[in-house]
Structure 1
Amino acid sequence: MTITQRTPVSAWSRWPIWTIHAAWLWSAIYAVLGVFWALGGTGFPFGAGDVNAEGQGTLLAEATAPVTGAVMAALGAAGVVVGWAMSKRAERPRAVLLLFGWGMAVLLVLVLPEIRALTVVLFPLVFLMLDKMDWPMVNFLVLMAGGFLWAGATLAYQRASRSACAHCGRRAEGGRGRAEAWLLRRGRTLTYVAAAAPWGYALVRLAWVLDLPLGVPPEFLRQLESANGGAGAKGMELVLVGMCAAGSVLTVGLVRRWGEVWPGWVPGLAGRPVPVAFPVASAGLAAVGVTAVGLSWARGLPEFVANGLTVEIEGHRMGPIFGLPIPSFLVWGVSLGLSALAYYYRRAGHCVHCRTAPTESTME
């Protein structure tokens, strides 16, 4: 008698299945919460219920429970239907299901969180933000988690519904689509763009540290220092500059050998392969936070352009360079996300689920 040994299947390896069910359940929960809040239930986390919203974004600042709750209930109910259809691998209406799934992912991850999305990027320093970790803040994190679930569910459905492996996206005959091949060809260029983009923000902040009123009047810098204890304001600006510089350097690792094999100065890991998931997840989360902030800032861009590339803030007239961080963050976030995806495709080997490998036409 032949005994067949089965390879243990981890929960993570089953993500194409459980993300769809989790997105379905998440939508059902928020549909119920939407009805509860629309009918006057307590704990509404937006609008007047978000007491720490100042400086975090204005998109939901005027939200009211009856209207917003009803919208949440409708989207949640639609999510239940779409999630059920995805779980059944419904062939039609495929375009509608994909549009809803990706739309929910973008809405929940990149649009609604606004400045709060940086919490995901700065999660290792979350202890510095405990005073802001109230129910509305936790709710935004749950919303973002739901967005990630919808992204995973929609990606799995998109692949499976075109007869490709839900895990790697390859078809049985091998190879990838045009988008993946394009990323592999342009990955290096995108990476260098992502490494350069944060300096559009960092150089402005560094100038302020050096008391150079770049894009702002001198009075603004004096007001900023007096409101933040002088040295404290400059210290925070230096931290922001340092984070941009560190992000720029680490981004280059996506196309360098030390981004694939741990360098000699890393104790205990030198010479070992860098797990693909580590740089992909790190760069991906950073891209999410940066893009969300850029989109939040970009809502003021039309007014900024209409006023001749100037804007008045607290009585101070800001110049054109003041708006440089807006396109800087948008370019940074998008190019970083694409660079991380190109890195993943470049290092992906045989898929243990479908047993296929990339073809030569998709490699650099």
Structure 2
Amino acid sequence: MAITRRRPERVMRGWPVWTAYAALGWSVVYAALGVFWAAGGGGFPFGAADVNAEGHGRLLAGATPQVAGPVMATLGAAGAVIALAMARRVRWPRPVLLVSGWGLAVLLALVLPEIRALHLALFPLIFLSLDKMDWPTVNFLVLMAGGFAWAAATLAYQRASRSACAHCGRRADRRTGRGEAWLVRHRRALTYTAVAAPWGYALVRLAWVLDIPLGVPMEFLRHLATANGGAGAKGMELILIGMCAAGSVLTAGLVHRWGEVWPRWVVGLAGRPVPVAVPVVCAGPAACAMLAVGLSWARGLPELIAAGWAIDVYGYRVGPAFALPIPSFLLWGGALGLAALAYYYGRRGECPYCAKALTR
């Protein structure tokens, strides 16, 4: 039993180092894959090979192995060098390393996955879309995992390279940073913004379930019903509405007592403190998924505005309300990420690593 307890502690204690090597390994693998695909190897997951790309985003729809392969190999090789420098805590050129690390994290976790990021947020219901879980889709989830590794590695390097604790970011001369203080002060406002944000999307979908053509003509709703087996379309809409409602309610726990102490209905845990990592680990990836989806949808917003809020979707004219999910997802992802960070800062307590270092 004692061994089981120590292993997670060793893993968490070493994350500022092993995440850099994880980013290094990820970069080496994808650099090698880039060379392999550029040389004509099979399994290229983008472009024409992505048979389920329709409706999942357009960013890489036209990618070919001859063009994307060398780009991946170059980025992977550069990433390996950057990750190694971060692991060894090289201080020069620090700005270049930080910009590169955060840039790769954003690219991999928020930009490239597009609509497929919903597979991460809807993981409990992933079995409903197993027919879509082909290699290209799995590859996008691996890209997001690489983005998380890069974010953790860059954060640890950013802290350590400014003589702060790599685990918590505190420095001996300033225990609480201005950004941390601002987040804790606005924790409630950020949380309730994240609670309200998904309803911009959910209300549109609820209207469609009730056959109210909000932002679309009635013919559009009939087309959806025909293309998705009638009641199956409404069933999926209800599932998505339910996920929004569940996410909204769970988010409220970031500022309520049941988000810090397990409530009575949680059998076996009632009355015990909720580990800080549980809400943060759940909310963080979900926030990234919402942002990725919102950014993907937002690329079509200029076209919609330029057309006077009336463009053709599946051959039907849609109106302004059709675009309501775009700001909803962007606001949801951003507010949820900040609220989770504020929750972490508000509950994390004394760092067991830098506290020891500061008392030496």
TM-score by length of 1: 0.93
Alignment match, 2:86: 86
Cα contact 1:180–1:342 (8 A) shared by 2: yes
Alignment match, 1:301: 301
Alignment match, 1:362: none
Alignment match, 1:39: 39
Paired AA for residue 343 in structure 1? Y
Cα contact 1:350–1:356 (8 A) shared by 2: no
Alignment match, 2:218: 218
* Residues 1:142 and 2:124 are matched in the alignment: no
* Residues 1:254 and 2:281 are matched in the alignment: no
Q: In structure 2, do the counterparts of structure 1 residues 239 and 95 end up closer, same or farther at CA, with 3 Å as the change threshold?
A: same
Alignment match, 1:345: 345
Alignment match, 2:17: 17
2: CA distance between counterparts of 1:222 and 1:43?
Answer: 37
Query: SS at the partner of 1:355?
Result: helix
Cα contact 1:172–1:356 (8 A) shared by 2: no
1: CA distance between counterparts of 2:60 and 2:333?
Answer: 23
Alignment match, 2:203: 203
2: CA distance between counterparts of 1:126 and 1:299?
Answer: 26
Alignment match, 1:279: 279
Alignment match, 1:336: 336
Q: In structure 2, do the counterparts of structure 1 residues 111 and 211 end up closer, same or farther at CA, with 3 Å as the change threshold?
A: same
Query: SS at the partner of 1:312?
Result: strand
2: CA distance between counterparts of 1:226 and 1:140?
Answer: 29
Q: How many residues were matched structurally?
A: 352
2: CA distance between counterparts of 1:27 and 1:233?
Answer: 40
Once the 2 structures are TM-superposed, how far is the Cα of residue 279 of structure 1 from its aligned partner? 0.6
2: CA distance between counterparts of 1:73 and 1:185?
Answer: 44
CA offset digits 1:319-357 (Å, max 9, x no partner): 111100001100000000000000000001111111179
CA RMSD of aligned residues (A): 1.7
Structure 1 stretches of 4+ moved >6 Å? none
2: CA distance between counterparts of 1:242 and 1:220?
Answer: 23
Once the 2 structures are TM-superposed, how far is the Cα of residue 174 of structure 1 from its aligned partner? 4.8
Alignment match, 2:105: 105
Report sequence identity in percent: 71
Alignment match, 1:266: 266
Cα contact 1:20–1:149 (8 A) shared by 2: yes
1: CA distance between counterparts of 2:131 and 2:238?
Answer: 22
Once the 2 structures are TM-superposed, how far is the Cα of residue 17 of structure 1 from its aligned partner? 0.5
Paired AA for residue 18 in structure 1? W
2: CA distance between counterparts of 1:236 and 1:178?
Answer: 43
CA offset digits 1:205-255 (Å, max 9, x no partner): 111111111111111112222222322211111111111111111111100
Q: In structure 2, do the counterparts of structure 1 residues 281 and 79 end up closer, same or farther at CA, with 3 Å as the change threshold?
A: same
Cα contact 1:170–1:356 (8 A) shared by 2: no
Paired AA for residue 245 in structure 1? A
1:306-325 alignment runs, 5 A limit: 306-325=306-325
Query: SS at the partner of 2:317?
Result: strand
CA offset digits 1:250-297 (Å, max 9, x no partner): 111100111101111222211111111111111111101111100100
Q: In structure 2, do the counterparts of structure 1 residues 295 and 8 end up closer, same or farther at CA, with 3 Å as the change threshold?
A: closer
2: CA distance between counterparts of 1:130 and 1:224?
Answer: 21
TM-score by length of 2: 0.94
Alignment match, 1:3: none
1: CA distance between counterparts of 2:315 and 2:334?
Answer: 33
Paired AA for residue 349 in structure 2? G
Q: In structure 2, do the counterparts of structure 1 residues 260 and 62 end up closer, same or farther at CA, with 3 Å as the change threshold?
A: same
2: CA distance between counterparts of 1:267 and 1:210?
Answer: 37
1: CA distance between counterparts of 2:197 and 2:7?
Answer: 44
Paired AA for residue 157 in structure 2? Y
Alignment match, 1:66: 66
Cα contact 1:174–1:356 (8 A) shared by 2: no
Once the 2 structures are TM-superposed, how far is the Cα of residue 310 of structure 1 from its aligned partner? 2.0
Paired AA for residue 327 in structure 1? P
Query: SS at the partner of 2:10?
Result: coil
Paired AA for residue 281 in structure 2? A
Q: In structure 2, do the counterparts of structure 1 residues 333 and 8 end up closer, same or farther at CA, with 3 Å as the change threshold?
A: closer
1: CA distance between counterparts of 2:356 and 2:279?
Answer: 23
Q: Any unmatched runs of 5+ in structure 2? A: 1-5
